[in-house]
Amino acid sequence: MSRNTKINLLLLLAVALLAVMPLVLGMGDHKEEPFTGSDGEAETAITEIEPDYEPWFSPLYEPPSGEIESALFSLQAALGAGVLAYYFGLRRGRKQGEQRARERDAVGVGGAGESDGEGV
């Protein structure tokens, strides 16, 4: 197994542990909704500190339910992952194309304007 493969497996294991450990350790058991988003946590903290706080602005669109909000968030995450995958795939494809072109030039096969010694 190569060194890069070992590093990738260790990184995947670390990510899996980060996702599972809060559930295993019961970190949200004392709350009604144990794993709410940071927006809800921030709002709770602000109202505890300053009960008369008025927000500066309101959201442009407020989803009618939590399920729709989750679906929109998932769609946003999927689109972001798609853009990143496209970018990295494009970069890798260009790198492979450049490598093949260098190999082809090194061998001397099929360059533009080259003559293979035969008449036309």
pLDDT at residue number 119:
53
The whole model's pTM is what? 0.50
- Asked whether the predicted pLDDT for residue 54 surpasses 80, the reply is yes
pLDDT band of 58, cuts 50, 70, 90: confident
pLDDT at residue number 94:
95
Q: What is the DSSP string of 7-19?
A: HHHHHHHHHHHHH
Average pLDDT over residues 93-118: 77
